[in-house]
Amino acid sequence: MIKKVFALILCALMLLPIFVACNKKSDVPEGMKSVTLSGEPFIFYVPKEWTDNRDSGISSAYYSINKSVMASARYYPCDADTVSAGIEAYVDKVSTQNSNTLKDYTLIETKKHSFGGPNGQKYEYKYKHIGDASETEITVIQYYTFYKNDVIILSMYVGTEFKDEYVEVFDKIRSEFKLCEKNAVNDSVKDKNTPKGMKKASDGDVQYVCYVPESWVTDLSDKLTYAYVDESGKPNITVTCVAPTADTTAEKYFTDCEVEYDKNIEGYARLSEKPQERKIAGRDALSYKYKAVYGGTEYHIMQTVLVYNDLVYSITYTARADAYDNYIYDVEHILANFKFR
């Protein structure tokens, strides 16, 4: 179960540019499913048997934790100078950052690729991931392109020794990846208890209600509790719920999670030694603050954990380090208005 929680927080044809409306429910390739968050400038498909990982706040999925088989798609707004310098320069910068942060980083290749059009770039590298008592070599295959004012990144990960097993699967994921117009869904779903200036970010089937500011973007169509601020880095909040295999507390649960975070999340470190004690919906809760590095960018995270009716709930706020404080007031307001049914 803890490995699944960690996963929540972490084609033969050349792809031609296909620009369509981001309708995730139409033209789904046979044997595949969309794992695309609302508002993304792409549609991201993976095989049906993969585990949807959108609860992490990223368009992503994984197939095997033991073999480190995962895939994700991201976009970041770019300024005119970055676009003008070209995608090759952008990838070179990412490669330099990775060489300074990843253990035993080895560049395999960077080359032009038709991903998203004639100016796409393929970037492949490997590095050593530190495990319990050993190190695992991970191969990362990424595709980059500029689309309008964004850089689009498709990433696929696999334990190097298993790479040959997944070449065809990765090619299929890449070939079905589609660029499209952003279609942010800003539902204004409310009930009689909705605080002024807020709206619901949770589906009616879950046992809690999560309200967020009206200015945040939500999408209840996928039944995921996920909301974000529509700006660079997409500061976001997610709510996840898991059933522990044994009696637990918020402190013990996070301690178990932290073992996986420390091994598997690049740049993981606590930002405060002790968690913040607080009340969420009248229950004792603990807020843990830590940092992580993704794609060469540092993020700050506050994970608030509580136990209710033998289930563990995590309310997790994630933002780029330089944007974290900008929305902490909103997040505190979200936590203060979190309720159980």
Query: How does DSSP assign 165-203, residue by residue?
Result: GGHHHHHHHHHH-EEEE----B-----TTPPTTEEE-S-
Residues 169 and 220 in one domain: no
Among the listed residues 153, 158, 131, the one whose alpha carbon sits nearest the alpha carbon of residue 142: 153
Q: Looking at this protein, which amino acid is placed at residue 117? A: G
Residues 133 and 202 in one domain: no
**Cα gap 117→136, rounded to integer Å:** 34
Asked if 164 and 280 sit in the same domain, the reply is no
Stretch (H or E) spanning 73? strand 69-77
Q: Is residue 188 part of a domain?
A: no
CB 254 within 8 A of CB 242: no
Choose the final residue of a domain: 147, 181, 215.
181
Alpha helices by DSSP H, the chain: 2-9, 80-85, 87-101, 167-176, 250-264, 328-336
Q: Is residue 305 part of a domain?
A: yes
The per-residue pLDDT string of the chain (341 residues; one tens digit each, 9 = 90 and over) reads 444 444 444 421 222 233 334 554 457 899 999 998 877 899 999 999 999 888 777 889 999 888 889 999 999 888 888 889 999 999 999 999 889 888 899 999 999 999 988 889 999 999 988 765 678 899 999 999 999 888 999 999 999 999 999 999 999 999 999 998 876 667 788 888 999 999 999 988 889 999 999 999 887 766 778 888 887 778 899 998 888 878 899 999 999 999 888 888 888 999 999 999 999 999 999 999 999 988 778 899 999 999 999 899 999 999 999 999 999 999 999 999 999 98
For residues 80 and 40, state if they share a domain: yes
Same domain, 163 and 261: no
Beta pairing class for 51-52 and 59-64: antiparallel
Task: Report the CATH number at residue 324.
Answer: 3.40.1000.10
Q: What is the rounded distance in angstroms from the CA atom of residue 270 to the CA atom of residue 62?
A: 26
Asked whether residue 193 is assigned to any structural domain, the reply reads no
Q: Residue 247: inside a domain, yes or no?
A: yes
Residue 108 within any structural domain of the chain: yes
What is the Cα–Cα distance from 103 to 115, expressed in whole angstroms?
28
For residue 51, CA distances in Å to 42, 208, 305 come to: 19, 24, 23
The span from the CA of 262 to the CA of 268, in Å, is: 6
> Are 58 and 150 in a shared domain?
yes
Residues 6+ apart with CB under 8 A from 282: none
Residue carrying the six token digits 């809690």: 208
Q: Which of 152, 181, 210 is the last residue of a domain?
A: 181
Give the domain extent around 206.
Answer: 198-340
Domain count, the chain: 2
Last residue within a domain, chosen from 131, 148, 181: 181
**What is the C-alpha to C-alpha distance for residues 107 and 162, in angstroms, rounded to an integer?**
18
Is 206 found in the same domain as 149? Answer: no
Q: Indicate if 125 and 174 belong to the same structural domain.
A: yes
- Residues 167 and 226 placed together within one structural domain of the fold: no
